[in-house]
Structure 1
Amino acid sequence: MAYRLTQYAHGGGCACKIPPGELENVVRGLLDDPQLTPTSPAGELLVGLDDGDDAAAVRLDGDRAVIATTDFFTPVVDDPYDWGRIAATNALSDVYAMGGTPLVAVNLLCWPRETLPFDLAAEVLRGGAEVCAQAGCHLAGGHSVDDPEPKYGLAVTGLALADRLMRNDAGRPGLPLSLTKPLGVGVLNTRHKATGESFDEAVEVMTTLNADASQAAVSAGIRCATDVTGFGLLGHLYKLARASGVTAVVDSAAVPVLEAAREAVRAGYVSGGTRRNLDWVRPYTDLSGVAEETALLLADAQTSGGLLVAGELPGAPVIGQLVPRGEHIVVVR
């Protein structure tokens, strides 16, 4: 029997994230509660909840910082091996987005044991293990639960130089914006879930590690970056520009997009997560210069997307720049 894993979940990939506006309301009260601050912390917290960065960072000693993150989601493709590869690549990306190197990861597996056979779960885990091996990251154990919906991902610990972290609040006027992967995997995944059509180019994008791009950015002295995942390019760029106190100007014609994604948007394969992303950023974004189709692609909920960096990287198109804060936090032209 052939199983379509995407049919066993209400959403898929990073499109199943809690909407960003709702999430910010949930965590807002955690920032200022003194009872939630450790009395004798083992290390200095360098990056926490304040600006919605990709991972937490704590100083270990004078130069080194430990990076901690976790990411898991429902099936984004029907093939279990590819889903495992995509989920692992996506989880490791949070460490790369901070300028770190993954050190060790543990599996997070939720599985409907009475609905789906465990040989499919084994393929998911195999895909995740192969990506960790490719990344030079130990994969050691994990945790599993019986769950009505299948979910998979990793909790990852990494290392970085404390004074070379890449973060949301380090953007400055005059810096260019570069994007290392094309957009559009969200709408193609939505089409795949609805029709069963496969898109090899989307899988290739989602299983490409951000390791090389991260290393190049750190070596170039770049200190402001994020990865583009469930909140879309516009959502993650809005958080970056808001934290940095600048305005981000995007040249929509320069943003790389998978060709099949444009037709998928025109055909209506747009996830609810993408539409919620656009609703969230619209009050802070000047979209008057682009069509709704373009706006939806820029807000497309990506899974395992590229790095968005405030600086120039070899091979990565420059898609805009940071300028002094204006009327809008993001401007799309």
Structure 2
Amino acid sequence: MTDRLTQYAHGGGCACKIPPDELEEMVRGLTAGATPSAAGELLVGLETGDDAAAVRIDGDRALVSTTDFFTPVVDDAYDWGRIAATNALSDVYAMGASPVLALNLLCWPRDVLPPELAGEVLRGGADVCRNAGCHLAGGHSVDDPEPKYGLAVTGLADAAALLRNDTGIAGLPLSLTKPLGLGVLNARHKATGERSEEAIAVMTTLNDAASRAAVAAGVRCATDVTGFGLLGHVYKLARASGVTAVIDSAAVPYVDGARTALAEGFVPGGSRRNLDWVRPHTDLSTVDDDTAMLLADAQTSGGLLVAGEVPGAPVVGELVPRGEHTVVVR
């Protein structure tokens, strides 16, 4: 038996998401089942595909809820647990909320992989929740042919200061709080076992500080950059906000080795699907194919894309009045 966890998964991390066009078709027409009198006012639901759902629970507070889990993105069980937990918490931070409670979601091939490995995955998730100041209490497990792990997370936010993906306005800069290239580096790791310490450090860095800074600065529009890539997530934000997003490709940061991994052919299928999805809505005429692919690269536990300035984060573009394309890359 190999101890390489990535070999037990058909894909890795957020690159194993259902393609965005298929997902949007699946959820089209779904509506909330509870009335405001029974469950409070639904502030953020399915309409724009935002990072989490939000319900007003009293005059000032909103309850924010999300879930995220995926197949192994690295071979080390403890690191996979940390990455998956960091990624799940990110959806709460992307809404401007603070996580309060998390529940484990574990799918495990119990006749194939030893329980000790599962224990390491859970330990990684627990350590991240502890660092985030978030309670981790129980969860759910399933005997599954393919290992998967993540969290269901509940957080609290100021209802008037939620970060949403439909509140962008023309004139705002776009800041990116983590570098890109995680998808191609994870694809190389799965194929060769080569480990990128920088990529793991990026994927296990919480988005808490960036979220707090954005809220404190009065920002009201943001999203995180995960499985749909920078182009996919900025397209959703610009589409929901009724503006055009202009990306300065030269300003976008990358994890060291990302371009080399791309040149060597390590491209997740999810990244290719992302590019196919956004291409009809995006002006890519001034950039080469490699740059376009990296901008669409499926990220796992990526950073926040903020419509505003965040201390220490590069400005990678701006929002402008809606033009011919929803996204323009220069």
TM-score range (shorter-chain normalised) is over 0.9
Q: Secondary structure at the match of 1:322?
A: strand
1:241 and 2:219 correspond: no
Give the counterpart of 2:286 among 289, 296, 319: 289
Matches for 1:237-276 after TM superposition, within 5 Å: 237-276=234-273
CA deviations 1:173-198 (Å, max 9, x no partner) are 00000000000011000000000100
Give the counterpart of 1:146 among 143, 146, 157: 143
1:13 and 2:13 correspond: yes
Give the counterpart of 1:277 among 268, 274, 281: 274
Instruction: Give how far 1:311 is off.
Output: 0.3
Counterpart for residue 38 of structure 1? 34
Counterpart for residue 133 of structure 1? 130
Instruction: Give how far 1:2 is off.
Output: 5.3
Counterpart for residue 101 of structure 1? 98
Instruction: Give how far 1:142 is off.
Output: 0.3
1:198 and 2:195 correspond: yes
1:58 and 2:46 correspond: no
Contact 2:198 2:256 in 1 (8 A): no
**For the residues of structure 1 that align with 2:139 and 2:213, how far apart are their CA atoms?**
31
Q: Secondary structure at the match of 2:151?
A: strand
Q: Secondary structure at the match of 1:77?
A: coil
Counterpart for residue 24 of structure 1? 24
Q: TM-score, normalised by structure 2?
A: 0.99
Give the counterpart of 2:170 among 170, 173, 176: 173
Give the counterpart of 1:328 among 318, 322, 325: 325
**For the residues of structure 1 that align with 2:231 and 2:203, how far apart are their CA atoms?**
19
Matched to 2:188, the amino acid is: R
**For the residues of structure 2 that align with 1:313 and 1:92, how far apart are their CA atoms?**
19
How many residues matched? 329
Percent identity of the aligned residues? 78
Instruction: Give how far 1:20 is off.
Output: 0.2
Give the counterpart of 2:46 among 25, 42, 49: 49
Moved over 2 A (4+): 36-41
Instruction: Give how far 1:29 is off.
Output: 2.0
CA deviations 1:19-65 (Å, max 9, x no partner) are 0000000001214xxxx532443210000000010000000000000
Structure 1: which 5+ residue stretches go unaligned? Answer: none
Counterpart for residue 158 of structure 1? 155
**For the residues of structure 1 that align with 2:255 and 2:134, how far apart are their CA atoms?**
29
Counterpart for residue 182 of structure 1? 179
Counterpart for residue 230 of structure 1? 227
Q: Secondary structure at the match of 2:15?
A: helix
Q: Secondary structure at the match of 2:11?
A: coil
Q: TM-score, normalised by structure 1?
A: 0.98
CA deviations 1:37-96 (Å, max 9, x no partner) are 324432100000000100000000000000000000000000000000000000000000
Matched to 1:18, the amino acid is: I
CA deviations 1:128-173 (Å, max 9, x no partner) are 0000000000000000000000000000000000000000000000
**For the residues of structure 1 that align with 2:267 and 2:9, how far apart are their CA atoms?**
17
Matched to 1:325, the amino acid is: R
**For the residues of structure 2 that align with 1:154 and 1:247, how far apart are their CA atoms?**
33
